[in-house]
Amino acid sequence: MVRQDCYSIHQLPSGTWVIKFPVSSGRSQIAVPIATSEYHTKRLQDLAGGSCRQGSMEIWHGKDGEWYAAISLIYETHLNEPCGVIGVDFGIVKLAVLSNNIFFDGRQVRWRKERWAARRAALQQAGRLSRVKKEAGRETRWMRYINHCISKRIVEIAKKEGKAIALENLLGIRERTKGSKKFNRMMSGWNFRELASFIEYKAALAGVPVIYVDPKETSKTCPKCGNASRYNRKTQGWFRCIKCGYQSDADRVGAINIAAKALDALGA
């Protein structure tokens, strides 16, 4: 971990961004060029323009052999008063479903991950371990890009509607679910904690409140009559209440219940 007063970030006349580290033996500095995406460039421009200030920085050596730096940026934000809540349910078939009936399909994602897994297995069998590491790094960066896109869209929707975002609290779920097959598949198939963190910080920048709720029983509770039963969800993708007959997409029901829990927490 590098303290915020132990480095500085600058843009060269050529447009390249560099991180400068002071040399202990004198006043000279070491300038390390960094590769940035369009998104990261915008954040660095915010820093250069005084819209935020830098925090600590973490540096690590990735499995793909590349060096990475995670720089925390501190923004002064004001959270708006929400007029409602949009619930977000994370899942296996659909990466995210919103309570206002917006879906982020995960079929293409699963197909691509399966292709990558097969390719890594073939490379490993051939003994090309360096290529395995590079492929793993490419997949990680791609997953992070998808998480950025989804989180950006969710925050845009919430800001446009003037609503808060309700997320399921993923911390401690493993202990509560006792390693259920569904949870293990979900967490091994995608980095949902990263997606939640992206939503949280993008929402903070946009002034959109984020509320975390316990997801317990949100997948099997009827949002119409309140009946909670595992028989309400006999299939993975569809919900049908055995008491009142209400039916809908199972993940959408989860998102509706997450939003309802957040409204209860707000006292609305």
Point out the least confidently predicted range of 17-21, 111-115, 148-152.
111-115
The pLDDT value given to residue 172: 47
Q: Which two tokens stand for residue 193?
A: 């904690």
Alpha carbon distance, N-terminus to C-terminus of the chain: 42
What rounded mean pLDDT belongs to the chain? 87
Per-residue pLDDT tens digits for 69-89: 999 888 887 888 899 999 999
* Element counts in the chain: helices (H) and strands (E): 7, 12
Asked whether the predicted pLDDT for residue 221 surpasses 90, the reply is yes
Residue 26 confidence class, pLDDT cut points 50, 70, 90:
low
The domain ranges of the chain are: 4-75, 85-105+148-266
pLDDT digits (tens, 9 = 90+) for 129-169: 788 788 888 888 888 899 999 999 999 999 999 999 999 98
Of 67 and 154, more confident: 154
Alpha carbon distance 57, 1 (integer Å): 6
Which region holds residue 169: left if phi is over 0, alpha if psi is between -120 and 50, else beta? Answer: beta
In whole angstroms, how far apart are CA 104 and each of 46, 120, 149, 249? 29, 27, 10, 13
Q: Would you state the torsion angle of the CA atoms of residues 146, 149, 150, 153, taken in this order, to the nearest 10 degrees?
A: -170
- Alpha-carbon gap, residue 166 to 210, rounded angstroms: 6
Over residues 78-106, the mean pLDDT reads 91
Q: Is the pLDDT of residue 14 over 80?
A: yes
DSSP 3-state assignment of 109? helix
Q: For residue 203, give the H/E element and its range.
A: helix 192-206
Quick one: tokens of 266? Answer: 């707000």
Does residue 101 sit in helix, strand or coil? coil
Record the pTM.
Answer: 0.74
Structurally, at CATH architecture level, domain 85-105+148-266 sits in 2-Layer Sandwich (3.30)
* Phi, psi of 148, rounded to the nearest 5 degrees: -65, -45
DSSP state of 25: T
